[in-house]
Chains A and B, each alone.
Chain A
Amino acid sequence: MIEIKDIYKNFGEKQVLKGITTVFETGKTNLVIGRSGSGKTVLVKTVSGLEKATSGEIIYDGRALSAMNDDQTTALKREIGMVFQGGALFDSMTVAENVRFPLLMFSKMSSAEMDKRVDFCLDRVDLPNTHKLFASELSGGMRKRVAIARAIVANPKYLFCDEPNSGLDPQTSILIDKLIKEITEELNITTIINTHDMNSVLEIGEHIVFIYNGNLWWEGNRHEVITCDNKELNDFLFNNEITKRLKQ
């Protein structure tokens, strides 16, 4: 469980997050939604500690980020897996080397154990027999799946996914969404997913946080989304004729 309390984040004069408070529960897919540029990436980077919050508290299962020393932060990072928007695979490495990398850096596993774990994770994301390919040889959907495999290889307790299905076709998007949901339940981890995809919202939105102008504008689940009467949320989600009619 990750609690965030009154998070503010400024870049110079520019206020991006203006006091966000919520709780991301374990074993659930928590969605952060909002228009592009609304601050989703900044929020997830701030929560993960990649960016420092201007003010506010971030609490990982009772441990406040601001109270940790360098060693404790580093230890916490090893409990975090992150899937970046473009995949952020290391160009100079093959698929297998990418997935193996976190193990190579920090685990005490033998080489054979690492290989086994890499095989398991690549199988889990439905990418067997891709070990020797380089990132540039993969399709968008494959890159995302490799990124997921790399994020889960070291058994994280927290998983952050920044627009895991942006740039993918609708069918692949749903597969990726379901994959993340299954992994969340299997490993019983705390997962935060940034998205602006309505399919994801309706498919896996167990806890949805809508960011608007840097504020938390609406919060609920995928059933509540359908019946809510928040104007900005409705404008954001039900933005064409068909979905508007569906909603009515």
Chain B
Amino acid sequence: MKKFINTVGGYFMLLGKVLRRPDNGRAFRRQLVYEMKVLGIESLPIACIISAFVGAAVVIQFAASLSNPIYPTWITGYTTRKAIMLEFAPTMIGLVLAGKVGSRIASELGTMRITEQIDALNIMGVNSANYLILPKITAFMLFSPVIVTLSVFSALAGGWLFGMMSGAMSSYEFLDGVQLEFDSYDMFYGMAKGLVYNFIIASVSSFRGYTVTGGALEVGQASTRAVVESCIVLIAANLALTSILI
């Protein structure tokens, strides 16, 4: 219990050092562009692929359970869209990216720690936490709306394609349902979740990487913990956000 409080305290203390004005704006922007590439753009392919398959599975599931003729024909498209925008696109992709981005951040920072690169920054008088972590959090959060939007579209496209191919429903019925009563609040809701998740992933795994002590083995362990803890915090946040936002 004491250890848990220390860890949480350490996390917030680190955040206190991170969330400051950068020492040097030019260096910050350069890091930001780089992180947008490695954390943002490089996450898009996996987000699209996973979303397409999840979308397909969701459609097949709904089509099967809603095949009773008492339901209107648009119901599959409609419920699929709702489920994807509200839960699957942000949360499922959040968990996947916790694995990809979380381990990357933790192992990068952990390696910098054990090879004394972080000490080298500190001794130059650079606020290393701010210099290294703020661009990661900012870049990953900036990309959140892009990731969520693309996921929604890939999931719907995957669902549409597999739904048709499996003969579960017609293209017209599906698209009709998908467009029915579109509510922009759903989009806001998905984006809000995505933003929070990306903050959690980037900050929790930065904390794990930045505070590594020891050697290569500890970097591996930190990377695993970063992923596991990001996922747990993310799922807990999902529950909280779902109850607040619905």
Contacts and interface: CB of A to CB of B under 8 A. Distances in A.
Nearest 5 CB-CB pairings of A with B: A77-B125, A88-B116, A88-B120, A84-B116, A74-B125
Contacts of B24: 104-106
Contacts, number: 52
Interface of A: 45, 48-50, 74-75, 77-78, 80, 82, 84-86, 88-92, 101-102, 104-106, 154
Contacts of B117: 88-91
Interface string B105-147: 0000001100111011011111000000000000000000000
Given A104-B27, A105-B23, A78 B115 contact: no
Nearest to B119: A50
B124 A78 contact: yes
Contacts of B115: 86, 88
B120 A84 contact: yes
Interface in B17-63: 23-24, 26-27, 34
| Main SS at interface, chain B | helix
Given A74-B125, A77-B124, A106-B125, A84 B119 contact: yes
Given A88-B115, A88-B117, A82 B123 contact: yes
A50 B116 CA distance: 11
Interface in B196-232: none
Nearest to A85: B116
Nearest to B111: A91
15 contacts: A48-B123, A49-B123, A50-B119, A75-B125, A78-B124, A82-B123, A84-B120, A86-B116, A88-B115, A88-B120, A89-B117, A90-B117, A91-B111, A92-B34, A102-B124
Nearest to A84: B116
Given A45-B119, A89-B117, 13 more contacts: A49-B123, A50-B122, A77-B123, A77-B124, A78-B125, A82-B120, A84-B120, A91-B111, A104-B26, A104-B27, A105-B124, A106-B23, A106-B24
